[in-house]
Structure 1
Amino acid sequence: MAEWDIRKLQILRTLRERGTVTATAEALHMTPSAVSQQLTNLAAQLGVPLLEAHGRRVRLTDAARLVLTHAEAVFEQLERADAALAAYARGEAGEVRVGAFSTAVPALVVPAVRALREAHPGVTVRIREAEAAAAYDLLAAGDVDLALSLAAEAPSAADPRFTRVPLLTDPLDLALPPDHPLATAPAPTLTDLAAEPWIFGGSGPWSDITRRACETAGFSPHQGHSASGWTAILAMVEAGMGVALIPRMAAAPRTGVVMRDLGPAGPVRHVTAAVRRGGETGRAVTRVLEALREVAAAPGHPGGRPTPRS
């Protein structure tokens, strides 16, 4: 295969446009002898004559014109590459892989992706659902570029591998069947329900959410049932099988369930984003983080209170 040299092809192309070696040299800020030398080298690399004498000047051979016909496609693709790299450098293009726990996907990630499609269509987001703690493992392994998780599941803030970005504080609301005595009480508290059967999340942080909140309120909850998803938990509450704490981000409206706000002193979970240390400087990652912050701070977001930037 012939040895192609983009720089020398550009010189040949400029000679075709300018007509003389002198004019080509001026356009490219080279000396005429350097232009001639580069074209001689290119002819040797390709194994065909590129120039022929024409009076006191030179002109392109048929072989040179054939070479340039094919080279134009290369130049066009390089222009596209230059434009793509420039967009990437501005944060207007690139792919960001996001690992997120289940309720964060519809509440935070999907709205952020929609906003990015409008503002920065060149930024592509690939979503991977994962348990809150597992999201950090994916991040550490390089399988995702950004992890959405819970602060309670995060490694220590001193962990040198990650930069953490607080997003919002998600209140935990009390889910009760409509005929429960506290469904219409003025200000229900967790301690009012110390003797009730509680419906826990099936595993991991979802189970811990209820246990930690109740223990903070001064009692150890009795686990009546468990389920792996919030929809199943709400269905059991609706059936009168127990009560539950539901993150506001996860609470889909259900006619047979009453959701009670436990007030500013009620339990919360803290939603955070994380990137590998230094990854926050990536332009595309920055765009995704900005979109997530905007979603979290939007008025009426189900998650409640956005966490102020530090």
Structure 2
Amino acid sequence: MTDWDIKKLRILRTLADRGTVTATAEALHMTPSAVSQQLTNLARQLGVVLLEAQGRGVRLTDAAHLVLRHTEAVFAQLERADAELAGYLAGEVGEVRVGAFSTAIPALVVPAVAALKRDHPGVEVRIRETEAAESYELLSTGAVDLALSLAAHTPADDARFTLLTLLEDPLDVALPPEHPLADAPSIRLADLASDRWIYGGSGPWSEITRSACEAAGFRPRQAHSASGWTSILAMVEAGMGVALVPRMVSTRAAGVTLRVLTHDRPTRHVLAALRRGAESAPAVARVVQALRTTAGSRPARL
């Protein structure tokens, strides 16, 4: 029977994900020469060629991709084994590392952690603020156990992850208090086609704003660029433009007029992502349930 070396298979899996030996070495805290040596030994053990030279780098062979297809099932089963062993040894005691984007932390993660402290004090949560787009990289390298991300930044059909929808977060429009539509009976996104807009120059919120406006029939005219909600809302309050704001941010918008969009009603979907198989770990399951309860208790309207 073939000698399947889990450590070496993990290196091959990381190379497939990162693309280069150097990036793989950085992710696994190894030297590039050690990565190359381990993969050479793996190829010898399996009796197949796993890598081929491509310019200054390497590419995975068909045999390597075949190995990786089976490897995903192996790692998922090992995650389940770890989860069951953790439940047996620790019961409801455990540490869960959660990566979450900035607006999700006060709106979802902090209330969920408060509930866990009350109901399951043995479960300790460590929070790491992340960009939504980097969540899956942190999961794949084991830097976090659970990540909150947005559906717009979810890799399609990735067998390594389990995805759970937590919340549909509506997008409201933030207007200066003196805006002509601040007191209008109803408002739709297309009514703001000629306004000056405030949103990030790049990243998820830039994409979400542009996509929502384009779906409403216009391309937003960007007047100012900012990535933090404090800056965006301060500029809106000063009459420098309008902005789309997720409902989870509404508690910070004291100086602006927030209006629910009556027709377009764009939303963003907030997801919890885990390495496949890890969802059965008792501590992780407690955190997921607390997040779901918190998400379900949020008000649907302003």
Pair in the same fold by TM > 0.5: yes
Q: State the Cα distance separating 1:248 from its structure 2 match.
A: 0.8
Deviations 1:148-189 (A, max 9, x none): 000111111x21010000000000000001111110111111
Query: Within 5 A, what are the aligned runs for 1:202-281?
Result: 202-263=201-262, 265-281=264-280
Query: Within 5 A, what are the aligned runs for 1:95-114?
Result: 95-114=95-114
SS of residue in 2 equivalent to 1:203: coil
Gaps of 5+ in 2: 1-85
Amino acid in structure 2 at the alignment position of 1:121? P
Q: State the Cα distance separating 1:140 from its structure 2 match.
A: 1.0
Which residue of structure 2 lines up, in the alignment, with residue 138 of structure 1? Answer: 138
Q: Classify 1:124/1:249 alpha carbon distance in 2 versus 1 (closer, same or farther; 3 Å).
A: same
Q: Classify 1:200/1:86 alpha carbon distance in 2 versus 1 (closer, same or farther; 3 Å).
A: closer
Query: Within 5 A, what are the aligned runs for 1:65-84?
Result: none
Q: Classify 1:252/1:208 alpha carbon distance in 2 versus 1 (closer, same or farther; 3 Å).
A: same
Which residue of structure 2 lines up, in the alignment, with residue 297 of structure 1? Answer: 296
SS of residue in 2 equivalent to 1:201: coil
Distance 2:154 2:90 in 1: 30
Runs of 4+ in 1 over 6 A off after TM superposition: none
Distance 2:100 2:266 in 1: 22
Corresponding position: 1:176 with 2:175: yes
Amino acid in structure 2 at the alignment position of 1:152? A
Distance 2:172 2:114 in 1: 28
Distance 1:208 1:214 in 2: 10
Corresponding position: 1:115 with 2:115: yes
Q: Mark the structure with the bigger radius of gyration.
A: 1
Q: State the Cα distance separating 1:261 from its structure 2 match.
A: 0.6
Answer whether contact 2:188 2:263 (CA < 8 A) is retained.
no
Answer whether contact 1:214 1:221 (CA < 8 A) is retained.
yes
Deviations 1:15-73 (A, max 9, x none): xxxxxxxxxxxxxxxxxxxxxxxxxxxxxxxxxxxxxxxxxxxxxxxxxxxxxxxxxxx
Amino acid in structure 2 at the alignment position of 1:165? L
Answer whether contact 1:176 1:259 (CA < 8 A) is retained.
yes
Amino acid in structure 2 at the alignment position of 1:262? L
Distance 2:182 2:222 in 1: 20
Gaps of 5+ in 1: 1-84, 306-310
Distance 2:231 2:179 in 1: 19
Answer whether contact 1:202 1:229 (CA < 8 A) is retained.
no
Deviations 1:177-206 (A, max 9, x none): 111111011111111110111001243101
SS of residue in 2 equivalent to 1:252: helix
Distance 1:167 1:111 in 2: 14
Distance 1:145 1:117 in 2: 19
Distance 2:203 2:155 in 1: 15
SS of residue in 2 equivalent to 1:251: helix
Compute the RMSD of aligned alpha carbons: 1.8
Work out the percentage of aligned pairs sharing the same amino acid: 65
Q: Classify 1:184/1:143 alpha carbon distance in 2 versus 1 (closer, same or farther; 3 Å).
A: same
| TM-score computed with the length of structure 1 as normaliser | 0.67
Higher relative contact order (CA 8 A, sep 6+): 2
Distance 1:93 1:218 in 2: 52
Deviations 1:97-124 (A, max 9, x none): 0000000011101101000001110000
Q: Classify 1:184/1:142 alpha carbon distance in 2 versus 1 (closer, same or farther; 3 Å).
A: same
